Chain A
Amino acid sequence: MNTNDKFKSLEPLLEIKNLKVQFPSRKKMLTAVDGVNLTIKPGEIVGVVGESGSGKSVMSQSILRLREYDSAVKYEGEILFEGKNILQLSQSEMRTIRGNRISVIFQDPMTSLSPVHTVGKQLSEVLILHKKMSKQQAKERCLELLSLTGIPNPENCFKKYPYELSGGMQQRVMIAMALACEPKLLIADEPTTALDVTIQEQILNLISELNEKLGMSVLFITHDLGAMAQLCHSVRVMYLGNLVEEAETQTLFEHPLHPYTQGLLSCIPRLDSERGRPLHVISGVVPPLSAVPEGCHFCTRCPYADDVCRTQNPPSVEAEANHFVKCWNYISREEVK
């Protein structure tokens, strides 16, 4: 509980209020993110976990408004960053935030780096643009950043093209680039999914080290519950555009409340689980966005679903101290009527 207390008194750095993101399809609007509330305090690492299609990446991309090119996307709600609503900023104001105050690391470093420019050129570009540095200054800072992220020979790496580096090294370059302007918030969208476990461990250690050293907040998005447990202070579980559970990391893993979280945790073959028994299964599949159930979004796969669940989407309630869950099981039935 101590970590939570540490962050409780602080003013939020980022506050997402009732965010709704919709994409048009042929027949109707599809809601990818449906009423999400999320707060990140300075220095906190917040994890968002969910299966594919749960809307976790769309949510993180809307913080930087990376879907801007797609004019048909509809946003509702507010994203407050240091008190300003990001969704109402102009393009040029947005540009001073992107890569400067908030940066992002993507899953696939190879496709996020430019293949026709050297690592050094791409890295210094950020500094020259945002910090108005000269080429020489930028180079010095770049070498500093590259060694900070644990690249063994920064001088050498500076001159290389991304394809000459391994996946782990490319991800380090991405992190160096994201850290170039000492952002207040780092969005890490599945940063270790494409990497091997021994390299993943190195990258996770690096992120948590940098979080301690530089005091930046991290929004860590993943589908890997193990990686999440290693890194995050608090965790949100996302399912079909809803945040269904929110708790401190340890509480969530030791004592999950939402049926989805419980199912998710028990269907992973763990190193200390008993062998030879059939694995726990969450029956069915995630419904497509065009067929999101009317009530609780999880009701089609939930073992405890009843009529109330099928007709009304539950509000998020604080079932225990600092442990929020979006499930009718934790709301007394009298209140429903």
Chain B
Amino acid sequence: MNTPLLEIKHLQKRYPIYGPLGKLFPPKTHMKAVADVSLNLYEGETYGLVGESGCGKSTTGRSILGLVKPDSGEILYRGKDLTKLSDKEFRPLRRDLQMVFQDTLSSLNPRSRIGALLEEPLIVQGMGNPEERRQKVLEILKMVGLAEDHYFRYPHELSGGQVQRLGIARALIINPKLIVCDEPVSALDVSIQSQILNTLTTLQKEMNVALLFISHDIGVVRYISDRIGVMYLGTLVEESSTDELFANTLHPYTKALFSSIPDFKKKEKKVSLSGELPQYTDEFKGCVFHTRCPHACDRCREIAPVLTEVCPGHKVACHLINQ
């Protein structure tokens, strides 16, 4: 394959857990939000990151934009390590890297009009003169399916779907190379969700931008992604192209995850997971999934498996399959 647009190498983020006296003493232990995640993103592709809440998918996405400072690891974009940049050095790169949030409304200044909100990224990046900027804003409004007369409205006047369109417009207006979409359709009703997904995919093809699509909704991720990474407890447990992943599911967690999605037909017997997510602290040993895995053996409890390629483009981290 060609060279990746963005490379994440051994990304790690830990949060300290303090004892009863707080920061007076050094932390008792650390909680791993992201433990050793490596993935590549290619130009124009959609990479879906799925997992349950607390598995570190948002932390991974946010570290790309520098919104979370990782403890170790590298994020390479065009040969530059994003984790080592100062805020000032980062700013020009945000022209290429943008983000769409789940709750866009709270990420917008409630006292700015939509026209001004959309113009802001252009001003920050120093693009065009006022007239050109105005033209660009009107153009992007139309592209995402909003009307020109939204220009002088305030964000609170929009419905949930329209606000999400505005969020997409704000990310797209400076022609980025990569957009991190953190649960962009999770808060929307299904009829609105399909409208937004269609808009997003059409615009992506038109502008050739790569998407890192973070979601817990497997149906949506399957629909939109070229490749999918499945995360569990801060670790990437399986990665593959979408069709391959669904045709040939390997990791026991992925299998359980897929079978627990309620389908329209009543299924007779399903692989059901018992228990809940354990705490992933420094003391945790072995495979992240061993506490809930039906096939766990002694080796799984001791040694953490490494993400290995089992067939072209399909990587799994599981002792039973890697043998």
Contacts and interface: CB of A to CB of B under 8 A. Distances in A.
A135 B53 CA distance: 38
A253 B264 contact: yes
Contacts of B198: 278-279, 281
A228 to B, nearest CB: 8
B261 A226 contact: yes
Contact of B264 (A168, A270, A281, A282): A270
Nearest to A269: B223
A230 interface: yes
B266 A264 contact: no
Interface string A55-70: 0000000000000000
Interface in A239-265: 250, 253, 263-265
Interface residues of B, number: 41
A57 to B, nearest CB: 14
B257 interface: yes
Interface in B232-286: 242-243, 246, 256-258, 260-266, 270, 272-274, 276-277
B190 A268 contact: yes
Interface string A169-204: 100000000000000000000000000111111101
A89 interface: no
Contact of B223 (A168, A265, A275): A275
A132 interface: no
A267 interface: yes
A275 B220 CA distance: 10
Contacts of A226: 261-264
A247 to B, nearest CB: 13
A310 interface: no
Contact of B190 (A204, A228, A267): A267
Given A197-B52, A263-B191, A205 B272 contact: yes
Q: Is the interface of B mostly helix, strand, loop or mixed?
A: helix
A217 B321 CA distance: 45
Given A52-B189, A197-B257, A271-B222, A230 B266 contact: yes
Contact of B219 (A196, A265, A271): A271
B254 to A, nearest CB: 12
A225 interface: yes
B266 A229 contact: yes
B66 interface: no
B223 A201 contact: no
A229 B243 CA distance: 25
A201 B262 CA distance: 8
A275 B225 CA distance: 9
A16 to B, nearest CB: 24
Nearest to B274: A202
A155 interface: no
A19 B270 CA distance: 39
A267 B264 CA distance: 13
B109 interface: no
A166 interface: yes
Given A197-B261, A269-B219, A269-B222, A202 B190 contact: no
Given A200-B260, A229-B264, A229-B266, A271 B189 contact: no
B222 A230 contact: no
B218 interface: yes
Taking residues whose C-beta sits less than 8 angstroms from the other chain, chain A's interface range is 35 or more
Contacts of B136: none
Contacts of B263: 226, 229-230, 270-272
A316 B261 CA distance: 33
A124 to B, nearest CB: 25
Interface string B144-157: 00000000000000
A278 B201 contact: yes
Contact of A201 (B161, B189, B192, B272): B272
Given A267-B194, A271-B246, A275-B242, A197 B159 contact: no
Contacts of B224: 269
A16 B273 CA distance: 38
Contact of A271 (B52, B191, B261): B261
Interface in A40-64: 51-52
Given A197-B257, A226-B262, 4 more contacts: A223-B189, A226-B264, A227-B262, A275-B243
Enumerate the 5 nearest inter-chain pairs by beta-carbon distance, A residue then B residue, closest first: A226-B262, A269-B223, A267-B194, A196-B52, A51-B189
Interface of A: 51-52, 166, 168-169, 196-202, 204-205, 223-230, 250, 253, 263-265, 267-273, 275, 278-282, 285-286
9 contacts: A201-B262, A228-B262, A229-B265, A265-B264, A267-B191, A268-B219, A271-B261, A275-B242, A275-B243
